[in-house]
Amino acid sequence: MVSGEKALFERAENFGQFDMAEYEQATGFDYSLFDAVLVAEGQEYDRIREALLCLRERLAGVYQEVFDEKEAGILNAMVLGDRSSLPKEIKGLYQRSGLGHALSISGLHIGIIGYGLYGFLRKFRLNRYIRSAVSIFVMLLYCVMAGSPLSAVRAFIMFALGLYADICRRTYDMLSAMALSMMILLTAQPMKLHEAGFWLSYVAVTGAAVFYPHVSDLFKTDNKILSAFLFSASLSIFTFPVTAYFFYQIPLYGVFLNLIMIPLLAPLLFMALVTALAGLVFTGPALLPAIICKAILFIIERGCSLCERLPSGIIVTGKPELWRITFFYAGILALLVLTPKMKRVCLKTAVNILVLAGLAGLQCARLEGDVEITMLAVGQGQCIYVRSPEGLSCLYDCGSTSEEGIGEYKVAPFLKASGVSKIDYCIVSHTDEDHISGFLELLEDDEADALKIGSLIMPDIGNPDEMYYRLTEEAGDRGASVYKISAGDSFRLGSIGVRCLNPERGSSYEDKNTYSCVLELRYKSFSALLTGDVQYEGEEKALEGLAGPYSVLQAAHHGSKNSTPYEFLEEARPETVIISAGRDNRYGHPHEETLDRIRAYTDRIYVTRDVGAIEIRSDGRTMKLSTFLKSRGVVP
């Protein structure tokens, strides 16, 4: 028994953000414990699990001794199911190349090891009952030792059913075995329905059972290489919508890489197991199979790196809506039912290819036509995304002081889930950390799937600081154009007119907040005013150009009492006010005095700390506002 401070897991507050609370719930955990202290100790424990855990640690120790840190981390994940030591860059490399499944114990691993063991026992002329029983028992222990990941448990149940069918001399039906394994898993843990691995695992098996035979019938061939390619392509096509739904992007060359690399996994797993088992006795005998493992890992890594260097290696699809996914699988079902009746092979093949291309394209197509403004929930900071009806994208500020890694964990996932692979304009209101830390992340990200940045727009002031120069230098290194903007300047973001109201060109400011870049956005009768952290003489300057009423006002400085005075509100006369502020922030933002001033003009006030991300859409005449947490049923 332990005692400590209980804490809830972080919930997603933005579209596309990973929901840690939902993920941990699916694995059976409701909260975490900090500063844990052992209060009481029991005498009973599971001896088998304890022995398997000790064996896993000893095998991991062999890998640490024989391989370098990176190789040991890969093999720990691939063979032992322990991803804690897997280097982040390697995990990203494999995932971006379409080989992420190789780092998790799945049907591929269970099939290679389980059926390999079954075939090995056959050489000793054991009857099928003993062979099956031993293979099932060993694979059960292996799954438990690896931590019983979902994909491994699903594969083990189907493996055991396959051997049981052989014992009973019955025909093995993959779909029936899959359905039974799903019932068992969901009965034990219903929350698995929310897990990406659950859907990818079962959709892939369904594709292998239903869609691959259809594709194989279209391209009748005895060539093993072509058959392997068709199998890999079938699974990639069939899982396309699910992959896009959970990861928002597709590795274009994953089919070809899997075709080349998957055959290497069987000898890699075999040699990795030989290395681990030999190393338990003496390190010397483990060195020879370890050399083969090193060579295979080197080839796989080089293959992944090559795919990254090829053009358009990653296609950002966005997160398809459920109706698109339903339409995709309904279309495939129609192909499975109708095209076998076609007599002409060329016509049947052409129809299948055209329909599949159209269905895949539908998953990526973005419906344009509205202005979109989204204030992301980034803690104590600010990040506002603007999208024009034509699909041009803009980030106005991107930073936080209360949360680290918002670029990687909040902003980039949001943009990719929205189908954005390039930010056309990054606009910096001023260079305080809570407005630019995310920009620095995005500019310094050198990963292959990093977001592209077209232009960086900075306020035109006379006394730039070190951070100002750093931002412009980083943007230049990324190939982005750098522009300066000041009061009176204007440009167009597609059909959105953008006008700058502050700062004064070339003026020097003691307070960074004062020179915040204030922008007016107009599209038909819809208008928005973005104010950054502007205050004092900055607000006085912006007052000169205000042309209210505005549909939306971003309250300056996170709702600080030193900003958004009555004079400013009187000229702006906003219909809706949005505020970015973190929970329990040390400044007390938004201040009650500011909220009282705003309430004199509107009751439509939304704060990210309370409602999560705030999304506004307008066709130029009407406006629709939604909040992320309410859409998830978290707040009333």
In whole angstroms, give the CA distance from residue 464 to residue 102.
49
Count how many Cα atoms sit within 13 Å of the Cα of residue 27 in the half-sphere of its side chain.
16
Its sign, for the CA torsion 362, 365, 369, 374, is positive
Mean pLDDT of 113-121: 90
564 in Cβ contact with 599 (< 8 Å) = no
Q: Which residue, among 90, 192, 99, has the nearest Cα to 149 in the 3D structure?
A: 192
Q: Which residue, among 78, 92, 97, has the nearest Cα to 256 in the 3D structure?
A: 97
313 in Cβ contact with 448 (< 8 Å) = yes
Its sign, for the CA torsion 60, 66, 69, 72, is negative
Q: Are strands 314-316 and 249-251 parallel, antiparallel or unpaired?
A: antiparallel
Instruction: Please write the tens of the pLDDT for every residue from 366-397.
Output: 776 899 999 999 999 999 999 999 999 999 99
Find where tokens 């205050």 sit. 535
Angle, helices 128-145/150-167, rounded to nearest 10 degrees: 170
Q: Which two tokens stand for residue 118?
A: 């079954």
313 in Cβ contact with 250 (< 8 Å) = no
In whole angstroms, give the CA distance from residue 13 to residue 20.
11
Mean pLDDT of 473-501: 94
In whole angstroms, give the CA distance from residue 68 to residue 85.
12
For residue 454, the SS3 value is: strand
Q: Which residue, among 563, 505, 561, has the nearest Cα to 539 in the 3D structure?
A: 563
> What class is the 371-631 domain?
alpha beta
- What is the structure's pLDDT at 409? 92
- What is the structure's pLDDT at 125? 83
Residue 484: pLDDT above 90? yes
- What is the structure's pLDDT at 636? 46
pLDDT band at 313 (very low <50, low <70, confident <90, very high): confident
Instruction: Please write the tens of the pLDDT for every residue from 16-63.
Output: 998 888 878 777 777 887 777 877 777 677 788 889 999 999 999 999
Find where tokens 């093993």 sit. 224
Find where tokens 């990093």 sit. 450
User: Of 191-200, 296-305, 307-316, 596-605, which range is least confident?
Assistant: 307-316
Instruction: Please write the tens of the pLDDT for every residue from 217-269.
Output: 888 888 888 888 888 889 989 999 999 999 999 888 888 888 888 888 889 99
- What is the structure's pLDDT at 438? 94
Angle, helices 283-309/88-97, rounded to nearest 10 degrees: 50
Q: Which two tokens stand for residue 51?
A: 């022995």
Torsion of CA 293, 296, 298, 300, to 10 degrees: -130
Q: For residue 363, which amino acid is it? A: Q
Residue 635: pLDDT above 70? no
Residue 549: pLDDT above 90? yes
Mean pLDDT of 270-290: 89
Q: Which two tokens stand for residue 572?
A: 């702006």
